[in-house]
Amino acid sequence: MTLRALIFDVDGTLAETEEAHRLAFNETFAAASLGWHWTVADYRRLLATTGGKERMRRHRDDIGAREPCDETIADLHQRKTIRYADILHGGGLTLRPGVQDLVAAARDGGLKLAVATTTSRPNVDALCRACWGLLSDQVFDVVAAGDEVSAKKPAPDVFLLALERLGLAASEAIAFEDSLNGLRSAKAAGLRVIVTPSIYTCGEDFSAADRLLPDLAALPAPDLLRLWT
pLDDT digits (tens, 9 = 90+) for 173-192: 999 999 999 999 999 999 99
Q: Residue 4: phi, psi to the nearest 5?
A: -125, -10
Helix (H, G, I), strand (E, B) or coil at 140: coil
Share of the chain above pLDDT 90, in %: 85
Rounded distance between C-alpha atoms, residue 210 and residue 188, angstroms: 13
State yes or no: pLDDT of 229 exceeds 80. Answer: no
State yes or no: pLDDT of 12 exceeds 70. Answer: yes
Contact status, residue 59 vs residue 37, Cβ threshold 8 Å: no
5-16+94-227: CATH superfamily: HAD superfamily/HAD-like (3.40.50.1000)
Share of the chain above pLDDT 70, in %: 100
Domain 18-90: give its CATH architecture: Orthogonal Bundle (1.10)
Q: Is 9 a catalytic residue?
A: yes
Question: What confidence score (pLDDT) does residue 223 get?
Answer: 84
Q: Is 11 a catalytic residue?
A: yes
Rounded distance between C-alpha atoms, residue 44 and residue 132, angstroms: 27
Q: 11, 125, 157, 178: which one is catalytic?
A: 11
Rounded distance between C-alpha atoms, residue 217 and residue 221, angstroms: 8
Contacts 24+ apart (CB under 8 A), 159-166: 159/7, 159/116, 159/185, 159/186, 159/188, 159/189, 159/191, 160/189, 161/116, 162/7, 162/114, 162/115, 162/116, 163/7, 163/189, 163/191, 165/114, 166/4, 166/5, 166/7, 166/112, 166/114, 166/141, 166/142
Q: 9, 125, 157, 178: which one is catalytic?
A: 9
Give tens-digit pLDDT for 97-138.
Answer: 999 999 999 999 999 999 999 989 999 999 999 999 999 999
State yes or no: pLDDT of 1 exceeds 80. Answer: no
Tell me what the mean pLDDT of segment 145-156 comes to: 94
* CB atoms inside a 10 Å sphere around CB 188: 15
**Spans of all domains in the chain:** 5-16+94-227, 18-90
Q: Which residue has the higher pLDDT, 73 or 50?
A: 73
Instruction: Write the CB contacts of 222 (distance below 8 Å, at least 6 apart in sequence).
Output: 105
Instruction: Write the CB contacts of 5 (distance below 8 Å, at least 6 apart in sequence).
Output: 111, 112, 113, 114, 141, 166, 168, 172, 173, 174
Tell me what the mean pLDDT of segment 60-89 comes to: 94
Q: How confident is the model at residue 226 (pLDDT cuts 50, 70, 90)?
A: confident
